[in-house]
Amino acid sequence: DTEVTQTPKHLVMGMTNKKSLKCEQHMGHRAMYWYKQKAKKPPELMFVYSYEKLSINESVPSRFSPECPNSSLLNLHLHALQPEDSALYLCASSSTGVEQFFGPGTRLTVL
Amino acid sequence: AQSVSQHNHHVILSEAASLELGCNYSYGGTVNLFWYVQYPGQHLQLLLKYFSGDPLVKGIKGFEAEFIKSKFSFNLRKPSVQWSDTAEYFCAGLYGQNFVFGPGTRLSVLP
C-alpha cells in the first residue's frame, strides 16, 4: 500500500457543528502533516506529527484540533469553524521527514 | 524568512513547445527542493526532488530541474510539453521541518 487516503472526500458543515477529518497511511511513515489549501493558492502547513507527537503547530486557531492516535492515523477535529475555513485539507506523510506523499484531500465547505 | 517564489502565475504554451518554469528559494542553510504537480481535480504528485549531488535532476514524465546555488534557483524544464501536462506546478523547499510551497504556476497547454 503506497498511498495516503483521506475521508471524507467532501464535507459540508455549519458553524456550530463538530466534525472530523481522517487520514490514513500504511507505508510505515513516522511523520504526518496537515495542510490547508485555498483555491488557486499553495498548500499551507498547519501541523506536523513526528513519531505520533505534535512537533509543529503553525499558529493554527484552536477550532482545529489534530490528533494522532497511532502511527498510521491522523485526525483533524473541527469545531465552531468559520466560512473562511472552507478549503481543501491535505494530509501528507513522510518516512524521512523530507519527501512527502500527499493524499487527495478533503474539500470542506463551512456554511 | 523562509520563502519560495515562482516567476510566472500562468503560462500558456502550444503542444510540443519547450517549458521552463522559474523557482527561487530564500537562503536557509541546507534546503531540500521539490517540484510538485497538481492535475485538475487530483492530488499533489512529486515530479522530482533535489537533496545534494548532481545539480541536474531528472524526474517523472520527462521533467527535469537544475539547481543553481549561486542564483538560489531551481527551475523546472521539459523539452516538449503535451496537452496532458496542463496542471498547477508548485516549487517547494524544506527548511528543517518547515515545508514551504511557492505560490504555484498554472500551465495551460493548447492542443
Instruction: Provide the pLDDT for residue A41.
Output: 87
Residues in chain A closer than 8 A to B87 (CB atoms)? none
pLDDT in tens, A14-41: 998 999 999 999 999 999 999 999 988 8
Instruction: Provide the pLDDT for residue A108.
Output: 97
Q: Is the pLDDT of residue A1 over 70?
A: no
Contact between chains at B46 and A99 (C-beta distance less than 8 A): yes
Amino acid at B45: Q
B residues 37-76 near A, CB within 8 Å?
Answer: 42-46, 49, 51
Min distance B110 CA to chain A CA atoms (Å): 20
Task: Give me the total of CB pairs closer than 8 Å, taking one residue from chain A and one from chain B.
Answer: 44
Kindly state the cell numbers that stand for A14.
455549519
How far is Cα A92 from Cα B70, in angstroms, rounded to an integer?
31
How far is Cα A47 from Cα B23, in angstroms, rounded to an integer?
25
**B90 closest CB neighbour out of A42, A55, A101:** A42
What is the distance of C-alpha A105 from the center of its chain? 8
pLDDT in tens, A6-16: 999 999 999 98
How far is Cα B44 from Cα A104, in angstroms, rounded to an integer?
7
**B97 closest CB neighbour out of A55, A99, A104:** A55
B residues 71-100 near A, CB within 8 Å?
Answer: 90, 92, 94, 97-100
Residues in chain B closer than 8 A to A98 (CB atoms)? 32, 49, 51, 94
> For residue B4, with 0-12 CB atoms within 10 Å meaning exposed, 13-18 middle and 19 or more buried, which class applies?
buried
Q: Is the pLDDT of residue A91 over 90?
A: yes
Residues in chain A closer than 8 A to B100 (CB atoms)? 45
In chain B, the DSSP E strands lie at 4-6, 10-14, 19-21, 23-25, 32-38, 45-50, 56-58, 64-68, 73-78, 87-95, 98-101, 105-110
Contact between chains at B43 and A42 (C-beta distance less than 8 A): no
* Block residue for cell numbers 519560495: B4
* Block residue for cell numbers 512537533: A55
pLDDT in tens, A38-50: 988 889 999 999 9
pLDDT, average across residues A48-74: 91
Q: Does A101 touch chain B (CB under 8 A)?
A: yes
pLDDT by position in tens, chain B (length 111): 789 999 899 999 999 999 999 999 998 777 899 999 999 888 889 999 999 899 999 999 999 999 999 999 999 999 999 999 999 999 999 887 788 899 999 999 998
Instruction: Provide the pLDDT for residue B10.
Output: 96
DSSP-assigned beta bridge partners for residue B77: B20, B64
Instruction: Provide the pLDDT for residue B7.
Output: 87
How far is Cα A25 from Cα A5, in angstroms, rounded to an integer?
6
* Block residue for cell numbers 491522523: A74
Q: Does A57 touch chain B (CB under 8 A)?
A: no
Q: How many CB atoms lie within 10 A of CB B17?
A: 14
Q: How many CB atoms lie within 10 A of CB B14?
A: 10
Q: Is B32 within 8 Å of B44 (Cβ atoms)?
A: no
How far is Cα A88 from Cα A85, in angstroms, rounded to an integer?
9
Distance set, CA B50 to CA A39, A98, B14, B58, B78 (Å)? 27, 10, 28, 9, 17
pLDDT in tens, A69-78: 998 999 999 9
The dihedrals phi and psi of A63, each to the nearest 5 degrees, come to -70, -10
pLDDT averaged over chain A?
92
